[in-house]
């Protein structure tokens, strides 16, 4: 027996830190329970190997994604991302030359130039989404993983880890790259364009930032930071958490017991908890109404005005699409049309329809409606492409009366539509879809769920 234990220890990498060497399943002998954030179903996490995922058996929402060496991987990617970002903000981004007149801009000028055109809100939104928030996120990842690799978390690690989950949707470096490519195609036939070191560095940064966010193993990280307290006594799997007076933390995943009023705080990460998001439908309706109102001036007013040889030509969103089609740039016209017209309108229609039918769901359509919600939540940020195109062109095309581009009032209105629809998706609670979706009594699914629930016993979480 001693020789067998010694052999087993030697199979572990000697130089690997404890946090990377010991996944949660190895460090605990009890079942780890989770309540799905999208359908409220309580299930037990199975042992996971690197590259495996655990999904909700009811709605297929991914509960946990396991990575190999999560702390080392995230830290390495975060360092590489920060280096690429520093290079991107330190060198020229794009330059152009037309009729002997040239201009060169840096990355940050795509935002600061807008301030001179009385668009400070749009400027702040751009610099925050492409530089500030990604930098804060990456420094937070470094702070967390450095402490975990030392087997001693640094101060404020819990607050930083909770913040990271809220920052992810608002980082749009990848969307900015698409906007830059669209801008280049728009002006390629009008001037000579040169791509600076910053442009390529920012492309690398956007890719590394995406890899960093995907490398975060939140389940492993929270277990390493704060351990995992026992689930409340009597917690049952195979049934929703709300009926048991429980809820799953949307940040760290831990199941918590709520007060009789349906509120509380997570005992592990201190996130504020609710049985269901307060006034979810009312808030979603209000945000949808505001975004629908803002969508009118976003399409009626010009999003930018082009001045060429002293002649000014205002352009709306649809007008820009038509212009690209006339230039023969069908793929780019399709990208702008989808991102600026189809996505916002589709998101408004989809969320409106979900709010209308959420009280009349059944088990046969709850799955498809949940997938629709996931789609609307995912695609909303890509509508910022048009705003980024305007910011890049305004900063770059500044040759006086020969050729210049100025932002129009629609830029702020359309940016407001993007933000409002994103907030509307965040305030909509998808668990409401499943709350009113009891299985049909004559369905096989109802039979198996009833049989499964009848055999369930309280488990020790």
Q: What pLDDT does residue 361 have?
A: 64
pLDDT at 263 (0 to 100): 86
pLDDT digits (tens, 9 = 90+) for 277-310: 999 999 999 999 999 999 999 999 998 888 776 6
Residues 6 or more apart whose CB falls under 8 angstroms from that of 69 comprise 16, 20
- The tens digit of pLDDT for each residue in 179-229 reads 998 888 877 767 778 888 999 999 999 999 999 999 998 888 898 888 888
Q: Is the pLDDT reported for residue 432 higher than 70?
A: yes
Q: 3-state DSSP call for residue 54?
A: strand
Which pLDDT does position 450 carry in this prediction? 42
Please report the pLDDT score of residue 403 as a whole number: 74
Q: Quick check: 27 pLDDT over 90?
A: no
Strand partners, 403: 308
Is pLDDT larger for residue 67 or for residue 131?
A: 131
Q: What is the DSSP string of 173-209?
A: HHHHHHHHHHHHHHHTTTSEEEE-HHHHHHHHHHHHH
Residues 6+ apart with CB under 8 A from 287: 420, 421, 423, 424, 427
pLDDT for 458 equals 43
Residue 292, helix vs strand vs coil: helix
Least-confidence region, from 117-126, 170-179, 395-404 = 395-404
Share the mean pLDDT of the chain: 84
- Is the pLDDT at 21 greater than 80, yes or no? no
Q: What is the average per-residue pLDDT within 107-119?
A: 90
Alpha carbon distance 295, 414 (integer Å):
6
Per-residue model confidence as pLDDT tens digits over 68-105 = 888 889 999 999 999 999 999 999 999 888 767 778 88
Confidence at 449, pLDDT banded by 50, 70, 90: very low
Q: What is residue 440's predicted lDDT score, i.e. its pLDDT?
A: 44
Residue 405 clears pLDDT 90, i.e. is over it: no
Q: Is the pLDDT of residue 419 over 90?
A: yes
Given a contact cutoff of 8 angstroms between Cβ atoms, the answer to whether 111 and 239 are in contact is no
Residues 247/174, Cβ–Cβ less than 8 Å:
no
CA dihedral sign, ordered 331, 333, 336, 339: negative
């Amino acid at each position: 027996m001693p020789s067998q234990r010694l052999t087993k220890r030697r199979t572990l990498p000697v130089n690997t830190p404890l946090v990377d060497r010991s996944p949660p399943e190895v460090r605990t002998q009890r079942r780890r329970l989770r309540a799905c954030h999208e359908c409220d179903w309580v299930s037990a996490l199975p042992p996971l190997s690197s590259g495996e995922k655990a999904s909700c058996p009811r709605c297929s929402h991914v509960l946990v994604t396991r990575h190999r060496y999560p702390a080392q991987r995230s830290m390495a990617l975060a360092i590489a991302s920060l280096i690429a970002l520093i290079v991107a903000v330190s060198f020229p981004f794009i330059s152009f030359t037309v009729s002997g007149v040239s201009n060169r801009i840096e990355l940050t000028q795509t935002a600061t130039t807008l301030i001179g055109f009385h668009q400070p809100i749009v400027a702040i939104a751009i610099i925050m989404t492409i530089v500030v928030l990604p930098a804060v996120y990456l420094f937070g990842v470094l702070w967390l993983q450095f402490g975990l690799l030392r087997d001693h978390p640094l101060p404020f690690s819990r607050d930083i880890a909770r913040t990271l989950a809220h920052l992810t949707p608002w980082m749009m470096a990848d969307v900015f790259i698409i906007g830059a490519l669209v801008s280049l195609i728009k002006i390629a036939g009008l001037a000579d364009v040169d791509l600076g070191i910053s442009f390529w560095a920012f492309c690398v940064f956007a890719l590394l930032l995406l890899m960093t966010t995907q490398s975060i193993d939140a389940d492993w990280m929270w277990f390493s930071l704060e351990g995992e307290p026992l689930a409340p006594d009597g917690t049952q799997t195979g049934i929703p958490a709300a009926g048991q007076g429980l809820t799953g933390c949307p940040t760290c995943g831990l199941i918590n017991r709520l007060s009789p009023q349906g509120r509380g705080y997570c005992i592990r990460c201190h996130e504020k908890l609710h049985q269901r998001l307060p006034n979810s439908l009312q808030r979603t309706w209000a945000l949808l109404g505001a975004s629908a109102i803002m969508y009118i001036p976003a399409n009626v007013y010009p999003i930018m005005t082009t001045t060429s040889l002293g002649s000014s030509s205002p352009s709306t969103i649809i007008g820009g699409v038509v212009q690209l089609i006339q230039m023969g740039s069908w793929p780019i016209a399709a990208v702008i049309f989808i991102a600026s017209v189809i996505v916002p309108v589709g998101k408004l229609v989809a969320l409106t329809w979900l709010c209308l039918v959420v009280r009349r769901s059944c088990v046969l359509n709850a799955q498809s409606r949940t997938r629709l919600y996931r789609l609307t939540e995912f695609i909303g940020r890509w509508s910022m492409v048009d705003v980024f195109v305007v910011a890049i062109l305004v900063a770059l095309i500044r040759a006086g009366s020969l050729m210049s581009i100025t932002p129009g009032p629609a830029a702020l209105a359309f940016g407001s539509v993007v933000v409002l629809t994103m907030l509307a998706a965040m305030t909509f609670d998808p668990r409401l879809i499943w709350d009113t979706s009891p299985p049909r009594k004559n369905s096989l699914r109802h039979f198996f769920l009833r049989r499964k629930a009848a055999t369930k016993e309280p488990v020790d979480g």
